[in-house]
Structure 1
Amino acid sequence: MPVITKISVQQKQTDRYNIEVDGNYAFSVDESVLIEFHLKKGREISKAETEEIQIRDGVRKGLNTAIQYLSIRMRSEKEVLDYLKKKEVDEASRQEILTRLREMSYLNDEQFADAFIKTQIQTTEKGPFIIFRELKEKGIDEEIASTLLEQFSEEQQMEKAAALFEKQLKKHKRDSAFLRQKKAEEYVMNKGYSSSILKKAAVLEPPDAEEELNALMHQAEKAHRRYKSYEKGEYRQKMKMALYRKGFDLSEIDKAIEKLQEE
């Protein structure tokens, strides 16, 4: 039967050992595997035992890799599994590694989801629909995600949605009141808030006449530069359609066109 003839510590990884059998390099193992299988110089070792040791060492290496990955931040089981696949850890080892990580309290999808939701509420503009979608992408059970998202209260959602809505109104101040509202509503919805929350949060003041006129003239001047080379009738038609699509009142559009033509 083959015999272990030398065991030496690796230079770059001092927790791993090179094993020589019958004078030739055979395999390397983690220190914990070395101890588990009582490997030492002069010990006989069968081919079947060598294969078992290598399988166990593969699990140990994968476990160390996963723990290092988890040391950066909390992860879901799916994230860890995907990472182990990326590192080419075999399927049987991956499942054992996940089991070990659960036993060691490194993995708990419910705790992960709870922490993830709290962080998103505190540090991002995301609404519950987007947070729920991201949790699903991370492999979190839908029921767990839905239950834990109840901590994102309606009051918090309304406060965040209202702030986003107001921010977008200011951002698009050179648009018509109609278009500003539409863009702001779309933005809030795209951030993951429901229409019912938006309806309560989107409190609109009556449009300021001076701001509306300034926005109209800004858009009219842009359109004028685009259409000024057209024949008079076609010019007016294109101007009116362009500005009407942007939400301005037709009577005010006519006044803006006349003012531009006078200049």
Structure 2
Amino acid sequence: MKITEIEKKSKTRYTVYVDGEYFYILDAEILTEHHVRAGMEVTEAFLEQLKAAAQLRRARERAFYLLSYRDHSEKELYQKLRRNVSDEAAAHTVAKMLELGLLNDERYAEKLADYYLNQKQWSEKKSLYEMRQKGIPDEVARLALEACEVQPEDQIRRLIDTKYARYLGDPKGNQKVINALLRLGFSYGDVRAAVREYLEQIELEEEDEWQYE
């Protein structure tokens, strides 16, 4: 087999043809490192070596880009890399990101737990589900959620005060609020208790106002 043509594709990338047929797109550095030139005889093993080097480089570039945008779990990053590169290149790159300290499931889990529980006011149940979706291992996710020491009753009260209070007061509105809170993963018992407490407080305030009129 022979490399018959090396065609410039962009500033740093070249399309390589073997025996007149498309082989792969390689970076200039890979061409230089492996002394690749048009007209050289190559073996199947050498071509596989070039492809592996190209995939590893592509995986690392992609990983740096993704991690510059936001944190990822090990599993999440691996799955995204596998869309474009080999299993070996993806696994090697994840290991490299761990070595560089750019991946840390525990650190990422702590950030997500704080964001979901304290900022979005989601229940632990919904938060755990979302963390699983991002590839955080169950044990790591549960520990991070527990460390936040958030009480569901307090979360529900805050949600009612800041978001749902205007809907409470009639049966239809009450049910709408209950359904919304259930979708956030809170238990039916906690939701019913919080709504009942809020409605009772409204009644007491209205009675006080009536007495002073």
Q: TM-score, normalised by structure 1?
A: 0.60
Q: Which residue of 2 aligns with 1:33?
A: 30
Q: Which residue of 1 aligns with 2:143?
A: 147
User: 1 CA distance for matches of 2:133 and 2:58?
Assistant: 27
**Structure 1 unpaired stretches of 5+:** 212-263
Within a 5 Å distance, the mapping from 1:105-144 to structure 2 comes to 105-144=101-140
Instruction: Please list the CA deviations of residues 41-87 of structure 1 after superposition, one character each: whole Å capped at 9, or x if unmatched.
Output: 78764332122111221221132223222222112233323323433
- Indicate yes or no: 2:83 matched with 1:86: yes
User: 1 CA distance for matches of 2:60 and 2:52?
Assistant: 12
Q: Which residue of 2 aligns with 1:188?
A: 181
Alignment RMSD, CA only?
3.5
User: 2 CA distance for matches of 1:102 and 1:37?
Assistant: 28
**Structure 2 unpaired stretches of 5+:** 207-213
Contact 2:5–2:16 under 8 Å retained in 1: yes
Instruction: Please list the CA deviations of residues 132-169 of structure 1 after superposition, one character each: whole Å capped at 9, or x if unmatched.
Output: 011112221111111000133235x4433102234434
Of 156, 165, 189, the match for 1:161: 156
Contact 2:73–2:103 under 8 Å retained in 1: yes
Within a 5 Å distance, the mapping from 1:247-262 to structure 2 comes to none
Q: How high is the sequence identity, in percent, across the aligned residues?
A: 26
Bigger mean CA deviation after superposition, 123-132 or 139-148: 123-132
- Cα 1:186/1:7, change in 2 over 3 Å: closer
Q: Which residue of 2 aligns with 1:61?
A: 58
Name the amino acid aligned to 2:154: E
Bigger mean CA deviation after superposition, 163-172 or 19-28: 19-28
User: 2 CA distance for matches of 1:34 and 1:20?
Assistant: 13
- Cα 1:7/1:85, change in 2 over 3 Å: closer
* Structure with greater Cα Rg: 1
What SS class does the counterpart of residue 185 from structure 2 fall into?
coil
Q: Which residue of 2 aligns with 1:223?
A: none
Contact 2:15–2:24 under 8 Å retained in 1: yes
Q: TM-score, normalised by structure 2?
A: 0.72
How many residues in Structure 1 have an aligned counterpart in Structure 2? 202
Contact 2:117–2:150 under 8 Å retained in 1: no
